[in-house]
Amino acid sequence: MPRRSYSEQERKQVREALLEAMTRCIAERGLIHSSVDLLCREVCISKTFFYSLFSSKEELVLQSLRCQQPRLLRYAQELRDDPSLTWRQGVERFLRDCCRGEGGIAVLSIEEEQEVYRCLTPESFRMFRRDQRAFFGQVLAVFGVPPETLDPGLFGSLAIAMMMVYKAIPETMPFLFPETAEDMMEFQIRALADEMERAAGRRAGTP
């Protein structure tokens, strides 16, 4: 039988376990395979308890995407500080790993974004968009790009679009050429890195 009461510490632990489980599900299987029932079984709680922590699966998705942001920023900083990488190599590796979902990075598909968006309140969506803009501004800051030289919203839109299209080929976007997916990703990464390089006032090839 599910437990009927939890301490605050236990509630925090279950909440963290759900966030980790959702991030892992998005990265490995996608939202279609990430029902509330499945998540509850994975962390051994009841659905009633789940809804005492999160108002919906979609709210859990937003929180899990927020929770991976510090990890992504730490990774970006590690690449920036790696003496074996040039600045450009660090930028490109970060963008490439995000596209490919390396290390369990969760990226929503086009359909998943639509599913989540339809279920959000306007306030939840507004707050999430605000946090997303701030996150992409922090990514730019890690790589020394001032916000006045490259709008974090533009950078975020370009980066997310690149990741979503890469994930969508070929199932969601069958009219594209799947054999060019890797080359298309690399082209877009180079274009983004070029713009970041220009915005940071760097010369090509500098460390």
Q: Write out pLDDT tens, residues 154-164.
A: 999 999 999 99
Asked if residue 152 has pLDDT above 50, the reply is: yes
Q: What are the backbone angles phi and psi of residue 81, rounded to the nearest 5°?
A: -90, -5
Give CA separation, 186 vs 111, 179, 193, in Å: 24, 13, 10
The tokens of 201 are what? Answer: 């006032």
Do 74 and 60 have their domain in common? no
Counting the structural domains of the chain, the total is: 2
Report the amino acid identity of residue 150: L
Do 60 and 100 have their domain in common? no
Any domain includes 167: yes
Q: Which domain holds residue 58?
A: 8-64
Query: Which letter does DSSP use for residue 31 in this model?
Result: G
Burial call 164-201: b when 16+ CB within 10 Å, e when fewer: bbbbbbeeeeeeeeeeebeebbeebbeebbebbbebbe
Query: Which letter does DSSP use for residue 200 in this model?
Result: T
Provide the 10 A C-beta neighbour count for residue 87: 20
Last residue of a domain, one of 40, 64, 88: 64
Q: What is the mean pLDDT of residues 118-136?
A: 94
Do 113 and 54 have their domain in common? no
Scanning 101-180, the segments in alpha helix (DSSP H) are 110-118, 122-142, 152-168
Average pLDDT, the chain: 92
Cβ neighbours of residue 73 under 8 Å, at least 6 residues apart?
Answer: 135, 138, 139, 142
Q: What is the mean pLDDT of residues 132-136?
A: 97
At 1, the pLDDT band (50, 70, 90 cuts) reads very low
Any domain includes 3: no
Asked if residue 190 has pLDDT above 50, the reply is: yes
Do 75 and 34 have their domain in common? no
CA distance 202 to 33: 44
CA distance 163 to 9: 36
pLDDT tens by residue, 30-53? 888 789 999 999 999 999 999 999
CA distance 109 to 36: 19
Residue 78: predicted pLDDT = 98
Asked if residue 147 has pLDDT above 60, the reply is: yes
Q: What is the mean pLDDT of residues 105-109?
A: 92
Residue 151: predicted pLDDT = 97
